[in-house]
Amino acid sequence: MSLRGVMAPLPVLSRRKFLQTAALGSAGVLVPRAKGDSLYRSVLGASDQAAPLQEFGYGDVTISSPLHEQQLEETHAVLMGLSDDSLLKPFRAMIGQPAPGEDLGGWYRYDPNYDWRTFDAGFAPSATFGQWVSALARYYAITGSEAARDKVLRLNRLYAGVIAGEFYEKNRFPAYCFDKLVCGLIDSQKYVGDPDAFAILQKTTHAALPHLPAKAVEHGTSWRPGKDESWTWDESYTMPENLFLAYQRGAGERYRALAQQYLNEPFFERLANGENDLAGRHAYSHVNCLCSAMQAYLTLGSEKYLRAASNGFDMLVSQSFATGGWGPDEILRKTSSSDVFDSLTKTHSSFETPCGSYAHFKLTRYLLRVTRDAAYGDSMERVMYNTILGAKPLQADGRSFYYSDYNFAGKKVYSAHRWPCCSGTMPQIAADYGISSYLRDSRGVYVNLYIPSTVRWMQDGAQVSLQQQGEYPFDAHVQIEIAASKPIEFGVNLRIPSWAEQASVSVNRKREAVAAGGFATVQRRWKNGDRIDVELPLAARLESIDPRHANTVALMSGPLVLFAIADSNPSVTRSQLLVAKKRDGNSWQVESAAGAFQMLPFMEIREQQYATYLRVS
Ligand SMILES: [Zn+2]
């Protein structure tokens, strides 16, 4: 959600990328997947492979990485600790019902005398309610926790008693809130099996529609007469994604029509034509908007929407930080400008991390499913390790991590605002690591993220599981073990990141080199106990912030950005950075002429000042 209303659109040219698709090798043969490899072909022409990869169920994947697990459990504990009355309080107060219970405060509070210029308590009453219900439903799907299920069912029934148009009339973000409520209800239906979810959704839609704009309205455009600019920051252009999902999950034809009604057609037209229309737009919500384009493609089949999302993603990457984050001060930037470089000294609000990561995960997962291009997985992995996984934990009093700070003098801090938008997306993304790690088609499984975890599925009548172990990305080696109830043939498609030169895959200790940048497919008859070893050499490399500032660089080790821990920017050379020594405890040391300094991945930074980029000589 935006803290600002500043807009200055300036379209520029886009970078076009090939849509690529996987090809399966013959039995027992590793198929290296290099750029320019003749096995690549357009996804749109490939008949048997045009169907998107499928997601696994939340319960099919068990994550055993302590860092990922801790984020899921910590955020879940905060949600479980919120009282039902507190969660319902703004809804009730806004429609004149008795509203007992403690006021959560922060953005969640309803204050009829709210002053938007402070962006403080009362900015977006109840805006995160639907996301929290969604996260609780996903948590139940992962863990089977009865307490989570009971809370979802209870909250939906209490919420059904407060549905009214007044909520939307008094709300600066009617479309935003409706979008999140739709998400919570369709997730309650799908993952918890709430038998009333669609009826409550119908009632919600009936109450909301008279108070929504007639079509997608751009950020900063006035559509409610007599209201100040703070009433123009709603995000109606993000709604189609969840409305299409409601339709797909059986909520009714009405939701497909509504989704189409809110498609941001002029924006998608320009992106589909390769026109870079991102500059000046609010960052997170427009990445969500690209997710709506992907759902439009998946539901309606029009390639225009795929082109819009794919081109839009390329335009986003071309203005991203080495961490994978984007949108300093929540604004998308002009490609080939100095805006992103300038942000290193001008702001500490570099990347809206929980919301931005959540949208980035969804968009790259959609694009990966449709195109089978491993580059989307590379991008998701970057965002995971360098941004969201290092977010400070959500606190019971609403303190939330909001912005990653890439300023030359960076700090990891909580937002000044309690219960902001990012407290809504944090529990959702924490629940989504599992379904983002693996995808499948009828021929086998795709390993997208290397996280200690297990995925289980049925393959042609056999019960199969694949278990990953290892210290990656702190170590180059990932070990995978297959279990199968009977010998069975299928493909294991392993993402080989584009930076992983000299990568190799071994099956039962028989090693073959694979090309960086694509999926390596191992197609064979698998039996219980078969073992795959993946080596992804973590060579150090430098990435400059943009071509015009080639001496302002981030040090990378595999997918990790290493952040310099120092109170003032150390004077250092390229070659000194490139020979940074890894020490114990996931820490690196650099020897410069002025002395040694430490470099850490984002997850390991606590209170220290750090620099994401260094000026090298
Ligand atoms: Zn946010």
Query: What digits encode the pLDDT tens for the residues 116-171?
Result: 998 789 999 999 999 999 999 999 999 999 999 999 999 999 999 999 999 999 99
Cα(353) to ligand 1 centroid in Å equals 7
Cα(10) to ligand 1 centroid in Å equals 24
In this predicted structure, what is the pLDDT of residue 158?
A: 98
Cα(593) to ligand 1 centroid in Å equals 41
Contacts of 548 (CB under 8 A, 6+ apart): 338, 341
- Other beta carbons less than 10 A from residue 451's beta carbon: 25
Residues shown for the chain:
617
Cα(594) to ligand 1 centroid in Å equals 39
Cα(143) to ligand 1 centroid in Å equals 26
Cα(354) to ligand 1 centroid in Å equals 6
Cα(351) to ligand 1 centroid in Å equals 10
In this predicted structure, what is the pLDDT of residue 450?
A: 98
Cα(382) to ligand 1 centroid in Å equals 19
DSSP states along 399-450: --B-EE--SSSB---B-SSSS-THHHHHHHHHHHHHHHHEEEETTEEEE-S-
Q: How far apart are CA 479 and CA 274, in angstroms?
A: 41
Cα(429) to ligand 1 centroid in Å equals 12
Q: Report every protein residue that has its C-beta within 5 angstroms of ion ligand 1.
A: 352, 355, 421-422
In this predicted structure, what is the pLDDT of residue 443?
A: 96
Cα(402) to ligand 1 centroid in Å equals 6
In this predicted structure, what is the pLDDT of residue 49?
A: 56
Cα(332) to ligand 1 centroid in Å equals 15
Cα(421) to ligand 1 centroid in Å equals 4
Cα(357) to ligand 1 centroid in Å equals 9
Cα(388) to ligand 1 centroid in Å equals 12
Q: Is 250 helix (H, G, I), strand (E, B) or coil?
A: coil
Number of H helices, E strands in the chain: 17, 25
Cα(419) to ligand 1 centroid in Å equals 10
Cα(423) to ligand 1 centroid in Å equals 7
Cα(3) to ligand 1 centroid in Å equals 9
Rg (CA), the chain: 24
Q: Which among 169, 204, 173, 207 is positioned nearest to 186, based on CA atoms?
A: 204
Q: Which H/E stretch holds residue 586?
A: none
Q: Which residues of the chain have pLDDT under 50?
A: 3-48
Cα(150) to ligand 1 centroid in Å equals 27
Cα(254) to ligand 1 centroid in Å equals 29
